[in-house]
Structure 1
């Protein structure tokens, strides 16, 4: 018994014609028996293990099994119905080409595998060795011959296997498939790669085909041209030119079917265009020249085309279904998507040209510039300016970079060149120079920048000469190492010394700065240290242009020959309520300074103000006074112009801001705990005061910073703004400098009465003084205790706010406004404050103002019934920052450690109650440093009591330690309090 063998048989299907079928056969004595038609479910059979290529053959042949054809080409219920309904047209156009393609794939495997092919008659079951059909391992090569004569054209066909001709004429040839052709001749399966079997049939019975002259041109333009294109051809009687011809690669910027920009790569051979995904390897051009036929056969250069594709891939292009586009990482354009394609061309056009790849533009709306684009920069310093010489080059055109300012600022990518081409400005130029452009001043062909924009110049790493780079470095180094003035009567904490050095660094470079420390951290002291250091310390200022009246200097010339080089006074502008505090701080820390106060209705004349500039060190004035006396102030030039609580000028449209803007000074500083209260426009106003033009004009600032940041929370613009202002703003919070602070800090805030309040107070004081004197004269001190107590209390109420006395018409209070001002700072700096008062009505007045401002608050008085809930809300609600507490109600049982500020708004003679109030915040469990402010009205009974306490006099002892001080006080001591 022989072995079982897997074979392919060529047999006749009753409906389909010639087909291949897989069989298992078994060797008998002189024949082979067909054991089994192999189906896909037999692939893993244990009785015969198929090899991988045998399995592949089974699966390929299964594709045209009756059942599979039925499912693929019809909706018939069974095979019989399918073949009954199958018409000739469907079979020839759809079914037969499908089967022939499957059979061609089977033949390709047979050409390279040991599987045998045998012929099998449909009616016989057995096979014989003489039925074997050999399958050569090579495709059969056809060769056509065309011979044009004067009367006709003859053509015939020869076929070759490995250059050996196989005869066709009068041979018993069996056509197995038509397209591509497979035929059996002399027990060989001859497989053609692409020849149609119909082209062979004529030459089975004759040597050539004759074409008459009458139809030859049409014949040549059609059949002959296609034959030359697809097969080897030999001709006579006409010309056939073969070769590559002139080849050119062209990258065409065009639009795809979706009207989106794309690159289309074309391989051009003597005018014939091939696309990369076109499988046509040959093109044939046909011409008739003087009754002569000329064919040009162009063969594509696959190696060259592959190298062109590799070049484009290396340059960053990717193939998207036959269209090319830059890699995904580059397709990030915010504007017209064509820009990314143009930019890619600008980068690569020259290198492509060097490698024989040319660029064209197709059906686009505009002609874009493609080619070299360059920005050349040079820099130099001129005084306080930085000059940047920047030249843009687009191919043959060069012009100053400043001409692109409008494009850069408005994100306009397109710029029309003189020849009408549209240049696309690189996105990199926008990213790199957009921050610079708003601040560039055009001067001829150069851009000029003020020194306070050095941070922007650093950011873009501009090239420059040594002096340019050195100046940038010097401006960036704002921390000086300048010793503190020897005659400063204070010891600066570490962070305060840092602030002093920072301000000194700004001074050295002529910059203005904003010291924005939290309330209570000593902005005044740091500023005084700065002023003291530069007091006539080699900083004499030429002053001859400071006065509008030329005779003013000559007035002082006899007294001071060097008057024109005298350092002028520094002007400090502040809220009215802070005048006294500044005066007190100056006297305490820098007593060598001569102070001139230009405030109130009794302030001096213009001439005296001009004199003061020359002969005083510091002039104190208020925002309202500057606004009213702007003409006088604007005629002078000051050494320093310092704004305390500079948020007062946050509104650029206000009269105050405009008045401050007219003042002249060598140097400027701003002090505030809240540089931004409501909007970034607050910041612009203050920075524009300090370094004019640093943030551009307000319209620009609103467009480029306020709107993107406040409306869209644009992090990129926030960072750009930070870069601009960072060197000029120094802010430290209490938390940041906590280790330098004592646990508890106390400060007296001396408040000035306004004029109406002062008049009311003096009138009432006179009445009370007379009433007390009359009572003492008649009844003695002990019997007059009630009258004395009532009178002192009444004065105390007037010192706080006249509204505490119902029958007084005056409704304004200097202390009240200062309390509100400091509450604004506490809220803006996000702290919490306890506000203590002896008078519930005083708290009610503050409460009314708080509600008007729409601030969150809590209040605790003797009338409060839900005490625990009120305390809890204040402790837990982070937005609730103000707790109004009456001294009596807050005396015991309170633990309010969430607060870090305490306001004692109406101190009195017994500090024990106040200390108990302070302990509400400063006690065990408090992890913050507590600031305590006692508000005292200047020239009032409050100030007299405070002065007594500070002197530790016997009278103070009576008030502080005695249970009934009025029983021990003398008439003289009473009158002393009422002076």
Structure 2
């Protein structure tokens, strides 16, 4: 497969020889392999009927996705369903599970395994109940118990179609790694992007006849994410980690080299459709993203300059791991100052006139309130969720909702149901990590990123709480950026960095922030305050 694609992942010195071999041998796929590759690359050419037990009508692109998954997994290959968030990856995979159920491989059942983040257990239970009530499943997690109140083990698995568990449970539950699964599915598969973590190693110890990865962000930060994902799906296809790293370095160092061979190599195993592609789905409204530039108050500017001066002092005395910790801590502090001085001082005095972002939020929220529209506000800082909600309540004339890591799972569902009602609360403030995945909040037509998570893939997942199937209005996304500060320079850096992932697989956003590795002068130049830009005259 590597020779066919032209992606050379062999050791240094063999490249020229292999290129010449390809040239004079005229290497092509045989008839059978060529037929398989054509179907993998153009899945719409081989459509199946949806399983009759499915309690939903698949959209045309979802039927294509299900047919493709069925084809790939029957070959025993690994498939990455990388559709945009909100396009219905779950219902496509549930269709595949129903297809397996109607064609049992033996007299006794062989269960499939679904691994999800703990926060998505409730979502999967709801979707399975809605779309596939005939599927017999159990959840292996402390928050759940089977009907008898005991723990699910390998004996029960033999009577079920599906076992649902979490990445954390894989590390602690030996029998999950010893069982021979029929199909292994990872949801939010970017969880295994780091090949060195315990949970990634636990996932790769699992045994199954076929593997499926579900992710809207197959390359989240760097191309090594792609290697780790394929080391799970189709081990060996992208060579060893060292070979792939060397290959990528050559691509990035030489502007004349093309990403096309890598794209050709991975394309048969990744199916990615974008909501913005009208050929995929024509009845989803448009999404418009705008940068909402904010100024700093004088108090913010003074705090910011003090923090930069402190960073300069600390850099002189720190090195190695300690230096990295200093840089990360001060970057976080600078971001908090950009939000509101009270976040840093701990005074709880969140008056709007002390923060440029609060004043900008007021301008936008007042207009949204006048139109009687709804909004989502995302922040990475839990401590600012309540002050934001209190402030917005004064603008909308009634309270909204707040969700963060401390919100219980039952309450999350209640909040979502309340917000989705036409007469529900007008705004929802969410912490990025807790509210960025697994929630359907299509009653909102405005999304505000109050502070920037410096990885656009994570940010886009949060935006997709509103921009997904079921949305009837155009979605306007406001990204708050304080002018003349580190936020503005990070935004510029992300824009440049994201092009690498786009070229590798197409259509994905990526950002790689390596500020901790800058030398002192470059770092201080990066974070310094441009007073002319930062403060309104």
TM-score normalised to the size of structure 2? 0.54
Relative to structure 1, the CA distance from residue 471 to residue 933 in structure 2 (aligned partners, 3 Å threshold; closer, same or farther) is: closer
Q: 1:832·1:882 contact (CA, 8 Å) conserved in 2?
A: no
Among 441, 446, 471, the alignment partner of 1:921 is 446
2:376 paired with 1:888: no
Relative to structure 1, the CA distance from residue 914 to residue 616 in structure 2 (aligned partners, 3 Å threshold; closer, same or farther) is: same
Among 241, 254, 257, the alignment partner of 1:716 is 257
Distance in 2 separating the partners of 1:933 and 1:686: 26
Cα offset, 1:612, TM superposition: 2.5
Q: 1:517·1:730 contact (CA, 8 Å) conserved in 2?
A: yes
Relative to structure 1, the CA distance from residue 528 to residue 601 in structure 2 (aligned partners, 3 Å threshold; closer, same or farther) is: closer
1:583-732 paired onto structure 2 within 5 Å: 583-600=125-142, 608-629=152-173, 631-705=174-248, 707-709=249-251, 711-712=252-253, 714=255, 716=257, 718-732=259-273
Show the counterpart of 2:82.
516
Q: 2:116·2:166 contact (CA, 8 Å) conserved in 1?
A: yes
1:819-898 paired onto structure 2 within 5 Å: 851=332, 863-865=351-353, 866=356, 869-870=360-361, 882=378, 886=389, 887-891=392-396
Q: 2:66·2:95 contact (CA, 8 Å) conserved in 1?
A: yes
Among 66, 90, 105, the alignment partner of 1:500 is 66
Q: Deviations over 1:514-536 (max 9, x none)?
A: 11122222111111011112214
2:489 paired with 1:489: no
2:51 paired with 1:462: no
Relative to structure 1, the CA distance from residue 619 to residue 906 in structure 2 (aligned partners, 3 Å threshold; closer, same or farther) is: same
Show the counterpart of 1:912.
423
Q: 1:743·1:930 contact (CA, 8 Å) conserved in 2?
A: no
Distance in 2 separating the partners of 1:853 and 1:492: 47
Show the counterpart of 1:763.
none
Relative to structure 1, the CA distance from residue 851 to residue 581 in structure 2 (aligned partners, 3 Å threshold; closer, same or farther) is: farther
1:222-621 paired onto structure 2 within 5 Å: 409-411=11-13, 427=16, 429-430=18-19, 433=22, 461-462=26-27, 468-478=30-40, 479=43, 480-537=46-103, 539-540=104-105, 562=107, 566-600=108-142, 608-621=152-165
Distance in 2 separating the partners of 1:517 and 1:692: 22
Residue aligned with 2:194, SS: coil
Q: 1:708·1:717 contact (CA, 8 Å) conserved in 2?
A: no
Cα offset, 1:638, TM superposition: 0.8
Q: Deviations over 1:307-359 (max 9, x none)?
A: xxxxxxxxxxxxxxxxxxxxxxxxxxxxxxxxxxxxxxxxxxxxxxxxxxxxx
Distance in 2 separating the partners of 1:412 and 1:387: 13
Distance in 1 separating the partners of 2:80 and 2:63: 16
Show the counterpart of 2:526.
none
1:171-186 paired onto structure 2 within 5 Å: none
Q: Deviations over 1:362-406 (max 9, x none)?
A: xxxxxxxxxxxxxxxxxxxxxxx9999xxxxxxxxxxxxxxxx99
Distance in 1 separating the partners of 2:279 and 2:336: 27
Higher strand share: 1
Distance in 2 separating the partners of 1:497 and 1:622: 28
Relative to structure 1, the CA distance from residue 666 to residue 607 in structure 2 (aligned partners, 3 Å threshold; closer, same or farther) is: farther
Residue aligned with 1:491, SS: coil
Q: Deviations over 1:509-567 (max 9, x none)?
A: 22111111222221111110111122141x505xxxxxxxxxxxxxxxxxxxx4xxx34
**Matched residue count:** 347
2:221 paired with 1:733: no
TM-score normalised to the size of structure 1? 0.31
1:5-20 paired onto structure 2 within 5 Å: none
Q: 2:230·2:237 contact (CA, 8 Å) conserved in 1?
A: yes
Q: 2:186·2:212 contact (CA, 8 Å) conserved in 1?
A: yes
Cα offset, 1:653, TM superposition: 1.1
Residue aligned with 1:701, SS: helix
Distance in 2 separating the partners of 1:853 and 1:531: 48
Q: Which has the larger radius of gyration?
A: 1
Structure 1's unaligned 5+ residue stretches are: 1-384, 389-404, 414-426, 435-458, 542-561, 746-828, 835-847, 875-880, 893-902, 923-928, 935-979
Distance in 2 separating the partners of 1:530 and 1:690: 17
Relative to structure 1, the CA distance from residue 739 to residue 638 in structure 2 (aligned partners, 3 Å threshold; closer, same or farther) is: closer
Residue aligned with 2:446, SS: coil
Relative to structure 1, the CA distance from residue 432 to residue 671 in structure 2 (aligned partners, 3 Å threshold; closer, same or farther) is: farther
Q: 2:170·2:177 contact (CA, 8 Å) conserved in 1?
A: no
